[in-house]
Chain A
Amino acid sequence: MDVLLRAHGLTKRFGEGCPSCLDETGARVGTNRCPRCGAVWAVRDASVELRREEAVGIVGESGSGKSTLVRLLHFDLRATAGWLEAARIPALEPIPDLYPKGSDWTRDLLSMDGFRQRRARDLCMGIVYQHPHLGLRMGVSSGGNIAERLLSAGWRSIGAMRGRAGGLLERTEIPLSRMDEPPKVFSGGMQQRVQIAKALSGDPPILLLDEVTTGLDLSVQARVLDLVRSLRDELRLSMLVVSHDLGVVNLLCQRTLVMKNGEVVESGLTDQILQDPQHPYTQLLVSSQLQ
């Protein structure tokens, strides 16, 4: 199983920081906010590898940094430190000079200019957010939301874009008859499915899922999870799955990272994390799960 994406030492700090920060924040002291200067270390020194056709879960309590981590990988936020590289994959071939001569890895994507960064991102990953309004323009038709993404990927023919959008919406179980309606008139579950269709429109090998089922009622949640599971197998996707729900990562992910106060405190095979958790916080998390 070859590595597709690797990130090392990812750090996101809000605020200036001070010399005491490193000692006074983190899982060991139980806060990500420096009591002296007030800087928040949302993510600190996190490393992640994602392999081909692998799903990796990221679990932890609210404020542990799991969504921030995914947003750093998606360039929604600018990292304070760390690097990110993608393997040599066909999806990224269209970008000139992305790979140093003779290297199987891209240059550091985090220190690249914004234009190339976004282009690389659009070609290799799609994201689905917990809140649909982050991923969709709620007043634009669902088909239009997808077309927007296709336009930025270089599509030009209206007919072809409509065909592609229709196919994706159909695959995510949105009736074609509703393609011209805006997501704001859809239910929460439908909005998530439009987001998934949009995220997959560029055929990315990597899908980032940020609490996609949080806040949905159980039957709707089940339908979205079933869709994600079947798309994962059918399109052979690699996925990073952020969830506070251990059941979700148990269903979808072979490996799982556990975060607390901005740090990755434990990582392992998902069944090992659930049945033989090592870190005190993971033991607390697993024992707090409703059966």
Chain B
Amino acid sequence: MRNEPLLSVEDLRKTFRLHMQGGLEVHALRGVSFRVDRGEFVGLSGPSGAGKSTVLKVVHRTYLPTSGSVRFESAAFGAIDLAAASEARVVELRKREIGYVSQFLRVIPRVGARDLVAEPIQARLGLSREEALDRAGRLLDRLRIPRALRDAYPSTFSGGEQQRVNIARAVGWKPALLLLDEPTASLDAGSCDIVLEILRELRDQGSTMLGIFHDPELMGRIADRTIPIGGD
């Protein structure tokens, strides 16, 4: 499995053109290239503003790249350039293969935590609702979400609790590629350790990870290697 690229990023550039500020151009990425092998855990490093999150968002296609290519070896569709793929294809890939954890929970209002986590497990792993809820419950237990809260709405949770629900929702369905944008930013040391352990297990089961961690020490503990981003 190793040494087979899952993701190959070539000369990726991203320029934001801000029409409301007189067409100001912000060059967020000026030619980024790297490769992530199947089963690897790769960290992105660099000072804030260097474009680390931008890289993740371009791979996820939340941002449209200005130029360059992002080659992804999809199990369902074969090699595909995410920079140029159709929106329908990207929607499919997000459903089946590529997961994303941001710093913030994108809360779906008035949906309980366990349902939120079970939803992708049920849809993507083809389990029954009961099985999915059961797995979601165990994952939330492991992440130390109090049982009393598991069916409450996460919009009422503390920042750290929301973040743990967010992580549970992203890892429960075992995506082939998981993009991690500071997943542990608002967690205490104990929760951090649990999250790292869950991510490590997921990697051992075959998932590939590309991530940013605010703390270099944390990154060192989890990543197989790091790629510096930034500079011209």
Listed stretches B3-11, B13-21, B36-44, B159-167; interface member:
B13-21
Within A209-257, which residues are at the interface with B (CB < 8 Å)? 222, 226, 229, 251, 254-255
Within A273-289, which residues are at the interface with B (CB < 8 Å)? 275-276, 278-280, 283-284, 287
In the complex, given contacts A276-B62, A278-B64, what are 4 additional A-B residue pairs having Cβ atoms less than 8 angstroms apart? A1-B91, A255-B87, A269-B61, A276-B16
Residue of A nearest to B110 (CB): A226
Q: Which of A1, A226, A271, A275 neighbours the largest number of chain B CB atoms within 10 Å of its CB?
A: A271
Q: In the bound complex, do residue B88 and residue A1 qualify as a contact, i.e. CB atoms below 8 Å apart? A: yes
- Interface residues in A, total, Cβ within 8 A: 22
Interface size class of B (residues with CB under 8 A): 10 to 19
The verdict on B63 contacting chain A, using a C-beta distance below 8 Å, is yes
Q: Tell me the complex Cα distance, A51–B92, Å.
A: 12
Classify the secondary structure of B's interface with A: mixed
Nearest CB of B to A267, in Å = 8
The verdict on B192 contacting chain A, using a C-beta distance below 8 Å, is no
Chain A residues within 8 Å of B92, by CB: 1
Q: In the bound complex, do residue B20 and residue A284 qualify as a contact, i.e. CB atoms below 8 Å apart? A: yes
Which of A's residues lie within 8 Å of B, judged by CB? Answer: 1, 51, 54, 222, 226, 229, 251, 254-255, 267-269, 271-272, 275-276, 278-280, 283-284, 287
Residue of B nearest to A54 (CB): B91
Q: Tell me the complex Cα distance, A271–B63, Å.
A: 8
The verdict on B90 contacting chain A, using a C-beta distance below 8 Å, is yes
Chain B residues within 8 Å of A272, by CB: 61-64
Within B88-134, which residues are at the interface with A (CB < 8 Å)? 88, 90-92, 108-110
Contact of B87 among A226, A269, A279 (CB under 8 A): A269
